[in-house]
Amino acid sequence: MTRSDSPEDPAVPVTLPAQAETALTAMVSTPGCDFATLARAAGLDPARDFRGADLRGVDFGASDLSGFDFSGADLSGCNLSRAQLDSAIMTGARRGAGQRFLELRGHKGPIRCVAFSSKGSHIGSGGWGGELFIWDGNIISERCTSLRGHQGQVSCIAFSLEGSLMVSGGEDRTLRLWDVSTGSILVESLHAHDSGIRSVDLSPDGSRIVSGGEDGTLRLWDASTGEALGEPFRGHEAEVLCVTYSPDGSRIASGGEDRTLRLWDASTGAPLSEPLRGHEGSVYSVAFSPNGSRLVSGSGDTTLRLWDGSTSTTLGGHERPVNCAAFSPDGNRIVSSGDDRKVIVWFLDPPAHQVFVTTRPEDEPYKRKLLDKLFAHPEMMKRNVVEAVLDPMANPRPDEGARDALENSVAALFIVGDKDLAFMQHGELELARQLQRKTGQPRIIPVFISSAIPTEPPDALKGYHFVQMPLDKPAAFNSLIEAICQAVDETEKATVNPHDKKTGKSFSSDFDSSFG
């Protein structure tokens, strides 16, 4: 057996008495053995000798492990299904290859909601009997703060974006706002709805709370005073089961038992569109993509729907109701979970970003080697950067073809080699400059490739990226990658604001009144 007193380094060898080693071997080889009895018979201290221990493959049977400290231990392949773990310490223990887990124990009844703060420093959990806890999210201890106030089941919680506030709602029809660092209540007992509260969220700036209730309404609240803001949002024909703010705080999405999704103006409560219909069961979960351009919803009909305006794509994989769905921070994945005990990660194709490239016979081998490596680079593939090639020699109307390609490109690579400096005299570069002055796109990235880069480049090549061939000097190549990625990232940022009519495309063109 190996042991370490620090969970951070569980592989420090420790010499144990021969009797203890024999007993531990028996534990591994004897299915369902009474681990606690054997451990104590071997003279091992449950509170000290199992920290960082290698216990892979042990069947703990129905052993009472109260008082055992398994911090940093490797429990890969262990059977803990029948063991009593009420006061066992599992900080930093491993359950599988490279997988650590920490069991947080404190609830006495079923847990109905759980959430991480945005920075991961805290975990909130709520459940039956008004139980509400804030845990240390750094996974270095099982320290928690018990928050008391709710008189019935706590059914929903949410953290503010910066993580300093947590709001909770429950079957007692009340909302409460908490200071995460102290556990003190900031706004107490907002009697929010005529029946239980099913969902809650905080605006990105933490100034407002939105709640959805069994009475079929949404309500807005001032987070600093607890005062109700305006009249209830009415539209759902049954319980409101989920609510969420858009990333910019301008919109609210909700889903309910009436099988619809609805979009609201976060300031006025006015509906922004007709109800989004498609699910054949209650809508249990809704989330905006990070840039606010899409929605994902999970339903009792066992499906998810990815919404782009009023149209949606069905994602089928669950076998029972889908309770939770969320986007990854980059917006390219969705994670969902449901009553079928499955957690499914869905990979979405990121939007393609087109880069304009011209081809010419001169220096073509060099260009092709550069471009092949360029567009196969992981950073380019992650952003789904694709090559838009125009061959003026084969195109009967190169100016027209160039304009179309340039207008749809985030960047234009003008690659000049030793033999085709005259390339700069052709019209595509001037056309790109005209479009850039008019629309801001594409970003012009001139490149000079050669087997011998001039020490003093001519004035005509000022501002060019110099890439020496063959590509055995990575600095210049990496600089070119960075330039293209920067152009792509700036384009994506420009479309984050769905109210930006110049660049923003929100759900769809027929939703202009709703999303800008």
Indicate whether 31 pLDDT > 70: no
More confident residue, 382 or 13: 382
- Compare 475 and 351 and report the one with higher pLDDT: 475
Q: What is the DSSP string of 333-370?
A: EEEEEETTS-EEEEEPPPPPEEEEEE--STTHHHHHHH
Distance between CA atoms of residues 307 and 195, nearest Å: 30
Confidence of residue 395 (pLDDT cuts 50, 70, 90): low
Q: Is the pLDDT of residue 515 over 70?
A: no
Quick one: DSSP state of residue 130?
G
> In the prediction, which pLDDT does 13 show?
37
Per the listing, tokens 């690579």 go with 413
> Which region holds residue 80: left if phi is over 0, alpha if psi is between -120 and 50, else beta?
alpha
Sheet containing strand 411-417, edge to edge, reads: 385-390, 353-358, 411-417, 443-450, 465-468
Q: Does 513 score more than 50 pLDDT?
A: no
Confidence class for position 212, pLDDT limits 50, 70, 90: very high
Q: What is the pLDDT of residues 92-150, one digit of tens each?
A: 677 665 455 556 667 777 777 878 777 767 888 888 888 888 887 665 456 678 888 88
Output the CA angle 496-500-503, nearest 5 degrees: 75
Number of neighbouring beta carbons within 10 Å of residue 200: 27
pLDDT exceeds 50 at position 504: no
Phi/psi region, residue 98 (left: phi>0; alpha: psi -120 to 50; beta: rest), is left
Residue length of the chain = 516
Q: In terms of DSSP H, where are the helices of 408-473?
A: 427-439
Q: Is the pLDDT of residue 320 over 80?
A: yes
Residues 6+ apart with CB under 8 A from 291: 247, 331, 492, 495, 496
When mean pLDDT is compared across 226-240, 354-368, 381-395, 492-506, the lowest value belongs to 492-506
Distance CA 63, CA 470 (A): 65
Do residues 213 and 195 make contact, with C-beta atoms less than 8 angstroms apart? Answer: yes
Does residue 305 carry a pLDDT above 60? yes
Binned at pLDDT 50, 70 and 90, residue 184 comes out as confident
Report the candidate in 56, 57, 59, 19 with the shortest Cα–Cα distance to residue 39.
19
Which pLDDT belongs to residue 9? 35
| 144 bridge partner residues | 135
Q: What is the pLDDT of residue 18?
A: 58
Q: Whole-angstrom Cα distance, residue 396 to residue 289?
A: 43
Closest CA to 357 of 343, 372, 347: 372
pLDDT band for position 174 (50/70/90)?
Answer: confident
Q: What local confidence, expressed as pLDDT, does residue 360 receive?
A: 63
What is the rounded average pLDDT of the residues 242-251? 94
Instruction: Convert the pLDDT of each residue in 63-95 to its tens digit.
Output: 888 888 888 788 877 777 677 776 777 766 776
Q: Which of 160-169, 221-230, 245-254, 486-495 has the lowest mean pLDDT?
A: 486-495
